[in-house]
Chain A
């Protein structure tokens, strides 16, 4: 029996030695000087148009590849785990709720892109420019217009209104421990009510029968009653662009958004998404070109309809459906990435105890 296991071990070593031959046609082609391959690692909801990719490939003579790695959290963790031997050259999809974790892990190179001049300072959160802002959107409450009109009910105006009896059983939120808009909304309430007040608000929300789902998909499609939602609750934590998306994805059937945003002062969260060049990238020059490309106007103008967020570049024009149906909150919650990073886990823990247990 012992001999059996020793020979197993030996065979394993031999096999491990010849394994690279097993990597198939889709494996990363070994880059040559003439035809380098730029690899972008990102989350599953990244999307961009084919023609832009072709344009980039023509300009640089490189091949472009996308590597998807699960949701935003899972993708970032995989980038951190592979930091000694990075899977890609560029990483896109760190947002300001995970900004601190990414910076601390020290996986990004600084890059002062000339395009930063066209991006407002308020989006540019990293003074060393390891992470550069690409797009932003707002997490806020959506409401079902038809429901409120039918019941003759006023739409809640402030976050504290949600705890009033007339809104009992109407709200659905996402779990901040598993969902990115859920986390953004929890952070909003911390900024809105303060460290000593937010738990009291959530306690009251719980008493007012708030419904918690683990992900945005279930909250929006499963529980929300407005637009394409199939549920019964007329209030949901979603994005300020969701009403515009409802119109856009109705194929011209809807002339007006079936849902609306609730945007009290300090009651929404601006989520900024960043791109960064990974330390140890195989093609750092190409990676810098890609970052410039992502921040330049043609790319930025494609962002709204592909990912339903706003371009970071001020010079990029917005599509009609955004101008008509999407709203920009005048005063989103004020909170820095450092504050978020210092409090994130404590808030999630406390929230879980108050709302779920």
Chain B
């Protein structure tokens, strides 16, 4: 039943594509929320992801080195998330707030500046060289491998990928609950709809902005830690490299549409991985070096033929 084609396609292209898609999806949620509520494209989002991963590594290193306890990255990510959210709130209060009524291009340029500030700060604190996030080779989950083998559908999925899938599902469900069931979530959608009307309706727009940074920060944090879990190392440009695919995901889904960002992230992740599959002949259809080019191409095509995205977001 599971011929070599299916085995190779699923285990070496489709599942890695989904993993990458999950990371893009979480990152794109933050980008799309910031764009729809604060009305600017936050170029510093990737660096926030990267900072989150470095902070998580630091918590793990402190626990292991000082306390002698080995902590799972997802546990270490909890205190690191608080720090990242605090970083978001502080930058909003002292950096972005003075730009609140400025032209969008000024805020975008300011976020570009913030991106450079954060990256430089990380390089000063942790150094410019790569760090190992998790050492060793990730082995496939034995239970899943044995079970899938018994039904003749061998799946080689390491635990880190199962955690990424489960974590993404939990995050998206929590986001759905927040936006549809809670007062602050509905207010976030209202401000996204019309900030002026929200203002004269009496909605505390500043509170909504703070909530947006918290949610966006938590999603960026999760995306950063998942990325570090996946590639098992840290480097200061890891967030920046994610920026283009995450923007592509947000645009594909429709700017301002969180579910669109999730869908867009999965599509971009899968498209990048599947573009390297040997669809014609024995060699990869596209060299893996062009993966980011696939995301860029999708973004350009969407902006030309359907700028409002698949989920009818804002158009440019």
A and B physically associate: no
- A residues with a Cβ closer than 8 A to B are none
On B, residues with C-beta under 8 Å from A are none
